[in-house]
Amino acid sequence: METHTIDLPGRRRLGYCRLGSAGGAPVMSFHGGLSCRLESVFADDLCSRLGVNLIAPDRPGIGLSDCSPGRTLLDWPSDVEALADALGFDRFAVMGWSAGGPFALACAHRIGDRLTAVASVAGVAPLDWPGCITGLGLGVDRFLFRLARRHAGVAGRLLAPARWSPSGVIRRLLVHALRASGDADAEFIAASSVGEFADSMLESLRPGGLGTAHDYHLLGGDWGFSPADIETEVFIWHGLDDGLVPSSHARRLADALPSPRLNLVPEHGHFLPRRCMRDLLLALLGRPRDRSIGDG
């Protein structure tokens, strides 16, 4: 794994890690909520074998990236374009997991002509329908969406102290909280990979909690665009047994998008990339699948 930063307009830094094959097909992966670029490290060897150059950036105010006061969801594509230009990518694919899904959709809306493929993986739909927040399986998500929508600064200050927590404490709290995801994710929760997720969460709060809180603020409000306005084809991958972001989100996205490719995966939960990354990448690259779903 290579970790870098680039300078953006406004004297901001954007942090990212580079995984897999440096000369491979470029794919940008957008992290979920309470997470950061480290979320994608597990895929390093797989990307090398597939010839994929996986770029995982931190969003503003998260991990190694500086805050961007007043940013909107539609500001993210400009940061992505700047990163692509710095790396010499003319065209590239994007994928977003969980809370990262809407950021992939924002890129499809704003810079679709530069994208070879787009995927929302276990992603949230616009949170503007009755019961959409109460239906989320993680209590901290329900709390943060409600609080950050009106008081992002308060939410950020509440999150900030967690960055000084021992990794073992965060790991135990995550195991307890993630049991809400259901039996489909039991293998992930029991595995040592929960420790990697805890490390990603702690790193996301390196600059404090405001960046993460602002993510929740953006996703819980008006996105600034409608999925119905996206002209680019979008892959939607979602586990049918997702206990954290119910598959109803995928169905709503598919109903709204003009060109969706919906794939509801039986007996899979929220941590779909951990179990299906090979097939996700092959789909984004337009290559035939050489293994069945679930082989990793």
Tens digit of each residue's pLDDT (9 = 90 or more) over 200-212: 999 999 999 999 9
Domains and their CATH numbers in the chain: 2-285 (3.40.50.1820)
Amino acid at 83: L
**37-51, 180-194, 222-236 — which is least confidently predicted?**
180-194
Tally Cβ neighbours within 10 Å of residue 222. Answer: 11
Dihedral sign of CA atoms 176, 134, 244, 112 in order? negative
**37-51, 140-154, 169-183, 222-236 — which is least confidently predicted?**
169-183
Residue 224 φ/ψ region, left for φ over 0, alpha for ψ in the -120 to 50 degree band, beta for the rest: left
* pTM of the full structure: 0.94
Residue 168 in this model has a pLDDT that exceeds 80: no
CB–CB of 20/54 below 8 Å?
yes
**173/2: higher pLDDT:** 2
